A and B are shown apart, each in its own frame.
Chain A
Amino acid sequence: MRIKLASIFVEDQARALAFYTDALGFVKRQDFPVGQYRWITVTSPEGPEDLELSLEPNENPAARTFQEALFKQGIPVTAFEVDDLGTEYRRLRERGVVFTREPTDSGPVRIAIFADTCGNLVQLYQKRG
């Protein structure tokens, strides 16, 4: 048994694909129609290359409720590791990404949190030391 796929709910799949590739810098791996939706996955150019993130439609009202509640409480739905948080923070800010937490030390990691334009907050973390 292996973990090869993680998924997040997004409000608008086309917008999500644009944000996760153009703004964050991930690469589109799969994109094909499934009924009225699309099966879209992205991977990170920094690897691991076979670990995919799926951008799932949040059309189910339960998914939307879940997303909105976490968002309002300021809780990220997932977290991505970065080598240099300060650089990523500045790069994303320049692309108009809004952060709800600027780089902050938090125990063994340094973290920052941003809004993904699709109903989620996402955390970035850099291991310290």
Chain B
Amino acid sequence: MRKRGVGPEAPRAVLSSEGLQALCRARARLLAGGDEPLRIRRLAAESGLSPYHFIRRFKAVFGETPHQVRIRSRLERAKELLLCSEESVTEISLRLGFSSLGTFSARFARQVGMPPSRFRRTAARLGPEAVSCLGLMAGEPG
């Protein structure tokens, strides 16, 4: 029978200073992104927690799950690339590791309020001084 709340992989009731640091490091790595896919399992192990407890605690401390942080950070990067690079929407979607163009467009539209292609066209039409405002607007939670 499995004991609940016992053992090194269950979190202590109060988050220790080391535990807080570990969660902050995990979050910083999720936000930094990069090419290598970060496995939640590994981040959890580095925090000394089981994946289940890691995800729960992460959400209770930061208000969003590790997965949500990772997606948000990728979408931020996508906005930069749409505004500042010549890469096609498909290329950007592949580069950021989305499983398909459809997934990327849908996630982007949900957070930003318009699909990637329209975001790029709108920014181009409004000119550079509007870009920073658009960036801010796009940062708003949907």
The chain A residues found within 8 Å of chain B, CB to CB, are 11-15, 19, 36-37, 59, 68, 71-72, 74, 93, 96-102, 115, 117-119
Assess whether B141 is in contact with A68, with CB atoms less than 8 Å apart.
no
- Tally of contacts, chain A with chain B, CB under 8 A: 52
Assess whether B15 is in contact with A19, with CB atoms less than 8 Å apart.
no
List, in ascending order, chain B residues with CB within 8 A of A119's CB: 62
The chain B residues found within 8 Å of chain A, CB to CB, are 13-17, 20-21, 24, 57, 60-64, 133, 136-137, 139-141
> Contacts A36-B136, A36-B140, A102-B14 known; A96 to B24 CB distance under 8 Å?
no
List, in ascending order, chain A residues with CB within 8 A of B16's CB: 100
Assess whether A15 is in contact with B63, with CB atoms less than 8 Å apart.
yes
Assess whether A118 is in contact with B63, with CB atoms less than 8 Å apart.
yes
Assess whether A74 is in contact with B136, with CB atoms less than 8 Å apart.
no
Q: How far is the CA of A59 from the CA of B133 in the complex (A)?
A: 12
- Nearest B residue to A71 by beta-carbon distance? B24
Q: How far is the CA of A117 from the CA of B61 in the complex (A)?
A: 5
Find A11's partner among B17, B20, B60, B63 (CB 8 Å cutoff).
Answer: B63
Q: How far is the CA of A74 from the CA of B24 in the complex (A)?
A: 11
A36-B133, A93-B13, A117-B60 given; name 11 further pairs at CB < 8 Å. Answer: A12-B63, A15-B141, A37-B140, A71-B24, A74-B17, A74-B20, A98-B61, A99-B14, A100-B16, A102-B14, A115-B15
Q: How far is the CA of A97 from the CA of B16 in the complex (A)?
A: 14
